[in-house]
Amino acid sequence: MGDKRHNLDEAVRRLREESGIKVRKISGFYLTEPVGGPPQDDYLNGVLEIETGLSPEECLDRIKDIEKEMGREPSGKDHPRVIDIDILLFEDWVVESDRLIIPHPEMHRRDFVLRGLNEIAPDAYHPGLRKTIAELQGRDSLDIS
């Protein structure tokens, strides 16, 4: 919601200021139609590569703090929001908890995710699907199971 480009730039700025997080690469930003939820404007999406010594859960806590500081309020699944920051991959880790699933369970089905990841990290490896991002983007991502 709001000024999408400003919101993404602000999220990147805040991540850069976080102790223990170093932003390494930023993809281009891609305008995409929303998936699910009520009728709403298109989304603007991008992908970052960070370096961190934090655990996945610690990263999630920092991300949730940034979202809240930027004005994100609790809403239904796929509803409009000021900012939505997801952890897509975390090295070759597989994490499944009540709070966090890594790799992101829908990332291989979302072209904007694969496009952004392929731009900055084509050799990144999806441990669940055992394929690189370049390999995933080269296929019809909706047919991968």
Which residues form the catalytic set?
72, 81, 84, 86
Sign of CA dihedral 50, 30, 121, 95: positive
Ramachandran assignment for 85, one of left (phi > 0), alpha (psi -120 to 50 degrees), beta (any other): beta
b/e string for 21-39 if b means 16 or more Cβ within 10 A? bebeebbebbeeeeeeeee
List strand residue ranges (DSSP E) for 4-80, in order. 21-26, 30-32, 43-45, 48-52
Give kind and range of the element (H or E) at residue 66.
helix 56-69
